[in-house]
Structure 1
């Protein structure tokens, strides 16, 4: 999610704010006997509203409090969730979901009307959801979001309390997978109408329908979830409590883990990676994601594609993954990462390399001179902004040195995660750190990010031809033609140097061996609802 869902990545994923070394919490060993899991999750969430969130750190809380029509099991498969069965029309356009008897955490029944309300709310332009475009697969979803249709025209309708009918714009092979994505989760109309935007900020009003419910939120410190007795499958949930610590202090994160004050963590100091790998403490997992820099494409001189290309070519990606990442990340030679299927094999391999793994300073200097800045003369000072973390800082410093070889002055500025998000959204930056993790396993989840109608497109770049390629891919049934449109779209994105890909993520984390049966998705989600502590 789009995961920026993507959130506050350091080496892989979120690291974010607050201290947690407190006597208020027992050590991990004590927790192990009580089925209580304590995990350093990442940022102080900006949004815990499923319809507004677009960050991974928050999504990892949301997926444990809510459940969609489908859910993900410990094998990573899409299986029945609130819907116990569904049918699909022969033309692949109409899905009919049949809901089981399920309850919200306050005991009220979950109905098809809750899903219809949630999806239309996310699409409503008044809501301002950055992920509204994720619902454009639904008939008239985009038109409603753009003010060209009414809510009643949108192809989602509750036929009764237990039956939801969904009509799509075009056959979408991964639509069922989307139904377990947070933007597709149900929310309660009565709660939101009564409490407004504040409904998702208070444990008393944060009503969910998933395996856990929130009982505490101590801002910049921790969020506490407890088992939801009203969850339809509560008997299968072993953990009694999850405590998500909120911290961006990677050294404190590691100290807490090694002091046995937490069961797991994702904020890892880069200078400790080699030691942790050698000791066997550091675990790694695949992650479908790309670490990259955004460029404000309307701000001079970045409105010139030659300038953007020059900056991208001046980066030694291999140096960054070898000396800073250290988790076997791969240099990003395109925007779509490896391990996503193309026409016959891996999309990344089929579409080729658009960037070198090592710096190409000669070509970079040539392009810069052609753009009117020979040896950097007359080029304004660049500011790189990033959210506070040791890993982001080291990458920014490395790129600062690489760009200075072009004769350009570069300064770097760190800030809180929420501030970075806001500045990116407001297009108030020159160059900004970013990262994207797949919402589903398909190139589309990376490429529709840069359409003119994407709420997550913070580049200030748009192109009607690019939009057309993405729209054609979404409407094309023939899988080969569809993939060709996507390959052409990525080529256009890279030819224009809209963003600067740096590396493809892997995931490094710490988790006690006594934590069993959890699932960490390549999409970046932590499915701890299946976990149990055995010690």
Structure 2
């Protein structure tokens, strides 16, 4: 367990929102970290979360069985230890007996059973339930009319939690660090099903921090938990998160000293400041497991045509986008699985970047199949969530498509939660999305499209051959064969093109010199428990 010594602030930390509502929360001796969020968290319910903004809050106020360190090591968290059967199917977790909820209740094995079954309950409509399908009986309960008692999880006693998998799963303990697998307090949630609809006295958590305040469109405040089992090793007393959509405003506020760190998932550095931060040596860039892509609604009559989708994919100048717009070390993506993922280090290059001649050939074939005689008859609505960076990228792609293909492209933007709802309801044609890996394996990407009903598959696309390959990869013990199945699946995905990869992310961030321990794990999470402020 990493230990850091906290700096005692000798003056009251001033942020652009601490002067009012937060002024009474902190004292002059508190160690306070000031961060940002690009939007309101769409949810603070672990079962319903699907995005990094929600995760930035939930991951720090709850704790699951395991945690993943920046070097990729899986370490005990809510579980102090575990054993695995010889066949790799049965995991037995010994829970910490000193772990308690923020209301003082002990965290027991039944809280994990209840939390997991709540995710799988079809009435919950969790979009991340599919990540639990590695558990015996989980998929059947979630989508197949099965019974909750047939899901192979059980509390052997208050502090022993047993899980039986369908097949050995090499990344299972890493998967458990994901917020979908968090426990919830059964007593509280059953008494108040709306416990997480908004911040209230029933919002009970078990992590290093408590959610002390959440004011929509203003701020989130986390305070150090008085009940957390490892509180002696939590250096920060308070974390303030200002909610602002504008990257330019956030960057100006960082320069003014109002933030200690700026970078995903805690806000973003504005594109027009990247070069200046590079020049003064303060910009830091790290590759991580994430892909920026456009999702396509294949239930739309025009977007159902594969040649139209391929035309759009080929008519994007990705290199220009990363060189002239993002400028933060991003890598043009001509595949879907990031090259940081083991076994996928070599870019498969399923199509050529900015191949306009090929794009026009695809377009001509697609228009003929659609019964259209001219590119000007094809109208494309490109949807993004409100963001300066997404808008600039969308405008560049709009220019590519309009100039090189002659199609009509309009751009619309909506607030984050509304945007997510539109994607889920397939109320779009082409939409921007970013996907961060939930564990360091290609399955975290390719599993999204296992079926049309899989959570976060907003395309409406599925292919029986693809589904079969994902199933084979899930149960395959031979790593070479498993990798072969996954690569075959990616080839099918890229041939069908229900999504258009744009680039593989890098984490671009700036931070004040006194901030210590703001380290990303392989999927872009930062555990604030490990952060401190030095002299």
Is the TM value for this pair above 0.5?
yes
Which residue is equivalent to 2:66?
70
User: Are the counterparts in 2 of residues 210 and 228 from structure 1 also a CA contact under 8 Å?
Assistant: yes
Query: How far off is 1:132 after superposition?
Result: 0.3
1:38 to 34, 37, 40: 34
Which residue is equivalent to 1:84?
80
Which residue is equivalent to 1:518?
518
SS at 2:491 equivalent: helix
CA distance in 1, matches of 2:406, 2:491: 29
Which residue is equivalent to 2:145?
148
Of 283-292 and 151-160, the range deviating more from structure 2: 283-292
CA distance in 1, matches of 2:28, 2:74: 29
SS at 2:357 equivalent: helix
User: Are the counterparts in 1 of residues 42 and 53 from structure 2 also a CA contact under 8 Å?
Assistant: no
Which residue is equivalent to 1:323?
324
SS at 1:139 equivalent: coil
Which residue is equivalent to 1:16?
none
CA distance in 1, matches of 2:415, 2:68: 32
CA distance in 1, matches of 2:488, 2:522: 25
SS at 1:338 equivalent: coil
Deviations 1:284-328 (A, max 9, x none): 222211000011112121111111001100001101110111001
TM-score normalised to structure 2 length:
0.92
Which residue is equivalent to 2:383?
385
SS at 1:90 equivalent: coil
Unaligned runs of 5+ in 1: 1-18
Query: How far off is 1:372 after superposition?
Result: 2.5
User: What RMSD over aligned residues (CA atoms) do the two structures have, in Å?
Assistant: 1.9
Task: Map residues 122-141 of structure 1 onto 2, 5 A cutoff.
Answer: 122-141=119-138
Which residue is equivalent to 1:336?
337
Unaligned runs of 5+ in 2: 1-14
1:261 to 258, 262, 269: 258
Deviations 1:324-349 (A, max 9, x none): 1100111001000111111xxxx141
CA distance in 1, matches of 2:363, 2:200: 53
Higher relative contact order structure (alpha carbons within 8 Å, sequence separation ≥ 6): 1
Which residue is equivalent to 2:56?
60
CA distance in 2, matches of 1:278, 1:200: 44
Deviations 1:260-297 (A, max 9, x none): 11212222221111011111222222221100001111
Deviations 1:365-418 (A, max 9, x none): 111111235884363311111011111011110010111121101011111111
SS at 2:497 equivalent: coil
The answer to whether structure 1 residue 158 and structure 2 residue 155 are counterparts is yes
Which residue is equivalent to 2:358?
363
Which residue is equivalent to 1:410?
409
CA distance in 1, matches of 2:28, 2:374: 58
CA distance in 2, matches of 1:63, 1:199: 15
- Count of matched residue pairs: 509
User: Are the counterparts in 2 of residues 368 and 375 from structure 1 also a CA contact under 8 Å?
Assistant: no
Query: How far off is 1:21 after superposition?
Result: 5.4
CA distance in 2, matches of 1:295, 1:55: 19
Q: 1:74 to 1:524 in 2, by over 3 A?
A: closer
Which residue is equivalent to 1:438?
437
Deviations 1:32-88 (A, max 9, x none): 963110101332011111111010111011111111111234544211111111110
